[in-house]
Amino acid sequence: MSTIARALLVVFQKPAYILVAVLVAAITFAMAVWMPNLGLVAQVIADPSATFAQKISLPIALLSSISTNFSALSALYTVLIPILFGVNGAMMIYYLKRRIKAAKGNMMAAGFAGMASGIFGIGCAACGSFLLTSILSSFGAAGAIFLLPLRGGEFGIFGVLLLGLSTFLVAKQIQNPAVCSS
Amino acid sequence: MEPSQTQTSLLAHPLAIPIAIVIAGAIIGGALLIALRQPGSSAAVAAQQPQGAQQPSGDLEAMSPITEGDHIRGDPNAPVKIVEYSDTECPFCKTFHATLQKVTQEYGDDVAWVYRHLPLDQLHSKARKEAVALECAADQGGPSSPLGTSNDAFWKYADRWFELTPSNDKTDIETTLPQIAKEIGLDGSAFATCLKSGKFDAHIEDNVQNAQATGGNGTPWSIIVAPNGKKYPLSGAQPYEAVKQLIELALQEK
């Protein structure tokens, strides 16, 4: 059995970690899909004339835009990144709880860089990266995105790879017994 | 207690992360350098984002009033109006066109669909000429035209365009634009003359500027207007159910 599979079994034997992973993944996915319409969601939730059912049903209906408002590639990494994000987060918590003293700088950096890159890469359909586009827009260079072959989708793929790498590294650390060197 | 050898060696692996980040930085930096050297890579160009790229930051109240000069499907006096800013080469606009066709069929006189142009030039180089073609189709309609009103001609052309073409600049417009014109019964030579005339360039640019003023940075960008004038922004090709929820909400605002 691979290192990752063994580590996943160890961590997700405990239902609390499954809950953490599912919650983190669900929240991340929802935020990614709602991102272009967060203003609308906020407007409807704050609208006194909207019923409670309407305040709930609109955000839920917007989630289906994963099938109408995303290309196949962007839909793929918009689903993958939250899943990896959730798994990575739960594994990181497990690791830190067990071996807080061993969690040195590099180890922490691996996990957080993976998560940060996930946020960086996740986002809208056509341009591939909501956050990146916003950053570039702030100094008038969002057009740079269009020069990339996948119109910024590269950053989504990069986010998936980095989170995958981070998960692999955490899994390896989890599988390492706390052995004293001779 | 010391970490095991395996663990120690692993501590070197995270170097892959900073290296990867440096590569990402290099890609962004390189793209930036190229973009900043290109003419037209200004803030105005930056505003032409593909759909869903950014949170809308404009003022919905800046939306130009709906007039007889607009292309309106349905009853112009309908209580709810959906003003859509669209790009003929955007695949999400193609999807959303079908969604709004369904909306107007389902809601009848309760909802009117207003079509405005937002060609994303940097992403779709053919879209602006196609926007002109839609206006040229409308131009040939009129009270005495066998095509019906100007509005009828516009929608016949627009529907056929979105039905026939694959989006993302994959259409040969030199053959397809006149082909659709012929199919729906337009005068081919008048259509060709109109395409070259430039008479609708300012109108299309007005639509683009207005879309951006309302916060439309990508397509499809829509504003749902309630009977009391309240406006709801909708970015992207949202599913029918979401549009329906918004229409129901707007219908309550009397």
Give the closest of B4, B31, B232 to A144, CB-based.
Answer: B31
The CA-based diameter of chain B, rounded to the nearest angstrom, is: 93
Determine the angle formed by the axes of helices A3-12 and A153-175, rounding to 10 degrees.
80
Does A91 contact B at CB distance below 8 Å? Answer: no
Nearest CA in chain B to A162: B17
Contact assessment for residue B151 and residue B141, using Cβ atoms and an 8 Å cutoff = yes
Using an 8 Å Cβ cutoff, are B232 and B246 in contact?
yes
Quick check: A69 and B49 CB within 8 A?
no
User: Scanning every residue of chain B, which has its alpha carbon at the shortest distance from the alpha carbon of A109?
Assistant: B14
When mean pLDDT is compared across A49-53, A59-63, B121-125, B146-150, the lowest value belongs to B146-150
For B42, the closest chain A residue by CA position comes to: A140
**CB < 8 Å to B52, chain A:** 35-36, 69, 123-127, 130
CB contact under 8 Å between A154 and B31, yes or no, is no
The CA distance from A56 to B105, in Å, is 26
Residue A26 touches partner B, C-beta closer than 8 Å: no
pLDDT value, residue B42: 31
Contacting residues of B for A33, CB less than 8 Å apart: none
pLDDT of A126 strictly over 80: no
Residue B225 has which token pair? 């207007």
In this predicted structure, the answer to whether residue A36 has a pLDDT above a threshold of 90 is: no
Backbone angle region of A47, left / alpha / beta, with phi > 0 → left and psi within -120 to 50 → alpha: beta
Of residues B4, B12, B3, the one with CA closest to residue A101:
B3
Residues of A with Cβ-Cβ distance to B24 under 8 angstroms: 117, 120, 155, 158
CB contact under 8 A, A147 and B35: yes
Would you call A30 an interface residue with chain B, using a CB distance cutoff of 8 Å? no
Q: Calculate how close chain A gets to B206, using CA atoms only, in Å.
A: 21
Q: At what angle do helices A3-12 and A15-34 cross, to 10 degrees?
A: 100
The alpha-carbon gap from B167 to the nearest alpha carbon of chain A, in Å, equals 12
pTM: 0.80
Instruction: Give residue-wise pLDDT tens across range A4-20.
Output: 889 999 999 999 999 99
* pLDDT number for residue B86: 95
Q: Is residue A108 predicted with pLDDT exceeding 90?
A: no
Reported as a pLDDT band with limits 50, 70 and 90, residue A136 is low
What interface predicted TM-score (ipTM) does this complex get?
0.79
Q: For chain B, which residues score pLDDT lower than 70?
A: 1-57
SS3 state at A179:
coil
Of the partner residues A68, A142, A161, the one whose CB lies closest to the CB of residue B238:
A68
Inter-chain CB proximity A109 and B17 less than 8 Å:
yes
